[in-house]
Chains A and B, each alone.
Chain A
Amino acid sequence: MAQTTKIFKEDILFHEFNTTETDYNQRGYHLEVALEVNQVRKFAQKAYDHGFYPVFVTGFHVLPEQTEDGTTSGLKVVYQFARHDRLYRIKGQVSVPEDMSIPSICDIYEGANWHERETRDLYGVNFDGHPNLKPLLLSDEDQDFHPLLKEEEKLKSLEAVSWSAEAPDSAEADKKDASE
């Protein structure tokens, strides 16, 4: 029933990014890539050149954290790509900085156009270079209302919602620690 997911090292086509192999049976995807803001477009271009199709672009909201570049906004944007010819799903995650804008990948993948518009509607993330950031799901007068942002008391930190080596179901011996 479960798909065998041994990935050989040649398959990992994203060596220049901060990648982690993950257990497909536990997580549903094979590779997890932690991206910087300036690596987003290179990642998307690499994926397009290798024949991946965009599954979705979305976000989620955690507590803002301190990094060496300053405070992040607490929003994360998640990209997922997959392939037609074999089973290989990859996930890229990027932290949105405090000015709430990250580069858009619309000119590489036109399908991301609507996904980015929706992420802007629901979370308020601005995508630089997007041709048309009008509201998609909400009405025009609700442009500044971002419904999926969580209230203060419900926000959790990134560690509280990420996989860690001490979690009871992670039993793989060679699984690396996956908290970003």
Chain B
Amino acid sequence: MTFGIACCAIEMMGTGMARFDISRYGSEVFRPSPRQSDLMIVAGTVNKKLAPVLLTLYEQMPSPKWVIALGNCAISGGPFKVKENYNIIEGVDKLISVDVYVPGCPPRPEGLLEGILKLQEKITGVRHPLPQNRHPGSPLRKVKGLKPK
């Protein structure tokens, strides 16, 4: 689910577009509804006014769910973490648990792709767990490191 809040949302859109195609890695479908998604990409600065919205969306997602914090604002407040801060939540991990942090202001689309691959590695233990053009039931489908059940 895309929670595109600010500048990083444009880089997230750019990752989904033709040049840095995200559907190569199996993540093409961006579902705006939390009920149908299992990954939330928080892209942008979270506010005191926006924090309850974020928590509602996170709780509406069914388990198992993962979170990627995209950009410096979602990691730690970014350029807005200043002394006179009265409004910004300094880092989304103060509200929910985050699995992968992608730094940058904004990070390049390659950074987001690397973040998704790192998440796939975190879940399955193997980078590129999905062979790119093999049918799931095919006997030719062998992936190094994944033990057959």
Contacts and interface: CB of A to CB of B under 8 A. Distances in A.
Contacts of A138: 49, 87
How many of chain A's residues touch chain B, expressed as a range? under 10
A139 interface: yes
Contacts, number: 8
A145 B48 contact: no
A147 interface: yes
Interface string B82-111: 000011000000000000000000000000
B86 A139 contact: no
Interface string B7-36: 000000000000000000000000000000
A134 to B, nearest CB: 13
A156 B49 CA distance: 32
Interface of A: 138-139, 142, 145, 147
A147 B87 CA distance: 10
B147 to A, nearest CB: 50
Nearest to B84: A147
B117 to A, nearest CB: 38
Nearest to A147: B86
Interface string B33-49: 00000000000000011
Contacts of B49: 138-139
8 contacts: A138-B49, A138-B87, A139-B48, A139-B49, A142-B48, A145-B86, A147-B86, A147-B87
Contacts of A142: 48
Contacts of B48: 139, 142
A139 B47 CA distance: 10
B56 to A, nearest CB: 15
A147 B86 CA distance: 8
B87 to A, nearest CB: 8
Nearest to B51: A139
Contacts of A145: 86
